[in-house]
Structure 1
Amino acid sequence: MGLLMTSQRLPLLFALLCAGNGVASAADHQITITGMKFSSPPPELHVGDVIVWRNDDMFRHTATARETSFDIDLPAKSEGRMTVTQAGAIDFYCRFHPAMTGKLDVRP
């Protein structure tokens, strides 16, 4: 019976250990396109986080990484989701409107 009680406590013990060691859970962030501009990227972006790219314009846009790690097609009034997979500075732009640019600063 002692073994059963111990195994039942393992998930709780694991959760407490993870909470105490600085392991962060993934977060959702939104970057909106309005007036032919990207909104400011989130300042606290980490590998594993999800970015929801939302196009509020009447024109089709993309969110395209210059180093080709992502290319999100965004028809007018739509959104797309992506999970951040690499750390570092990632410059992005719209393929249809190259003057539309931004930069993600992703932490591990």
Structure 2
Amino acid sequence: MVASGALSLGLLAFMPLPRGAEPQVYVIEIDKLAFGPAPAGLHVNDIVEWRNSDIFRHTATASDGSFDIDLPPSAKGQTVLRQPGVIDYACRFHPGMKGRLEVVP
């Protein structure tokens, strides 16, 4: 005979995980002195991968200090989104390059 608690735990192992359990990877391409469009539907723990396809060195630098990624030509780097909210970002070398991430729980 199986205890009801053990049976419940066994059934939970086969239930799908909630949305936040499996982070998604989103890519933002940098080219021609511009950030590509920011992805929609970002959640806490998702990963943003920055890819520099430009001939210039760039950064992806959050105004709140949550990330600062140095990206020489052909480089890529990642950041994990740790909090909900709006994150404005820019390139330290090219201040006209700006973008915004909107992160929900």
Band the TM-score falls in, shorter-chain normalisation: 0.7 to 0.9
Residue correspondences, number: 101
Cα gap change, 1:12 to 1:90, in 2 (>3 Å): same
Q: Over aligned residues, Cα RMSD in angstroms? A: 1.8
Runs of 5+ consecutive residues of structure 1 not aligned to the other structure: none
Within a 5 Å distance, the mapping from 1:88-107 to structure 2 comes to 88-107=85-104
Q: Does 1:27 align with 2:24?
A: yes
| Structure 2 partner of 1:43 | 40
Give distance in 2, aligned partners of 1:105 and 1:12. Answer: 35
**SS state of the match for residue 10, structure 1?**
helix
Give distance in 1, aligned partners of 2:101 and 2:34. Answer: 15
| Structure 1 partner of 2:78 | 81
Give distance in 2, aligned partners of 1:99 and 1:11. Answer: 54
**SS state of the match for residue 69, structure 1?**
coil
Cα gap change, 1:52 to 1:11, in 2 (>3 Å): farther
Give distance in 2, aligned partners of 1:37 and 1:61. Answer: 10
Task: Give the percent of matched residue pairs that are identical in Structure 1 and Structure 2.
Answer: 45
Q: Please list every run of at least 4 consecutive aligned residues from structure 1 whose deviation after the TM superposition is greater than 3 angstroms.
A: 9-12
**SS state of the match for residue 33, structure 1?**
strand
Deviation at 1:82, TM superposition (A): 1.1
Runs of 5+ consecutive residues of structure 2 not aligned to the other structure: none
**SS state of the match for residue 13, structure 2?**
helix
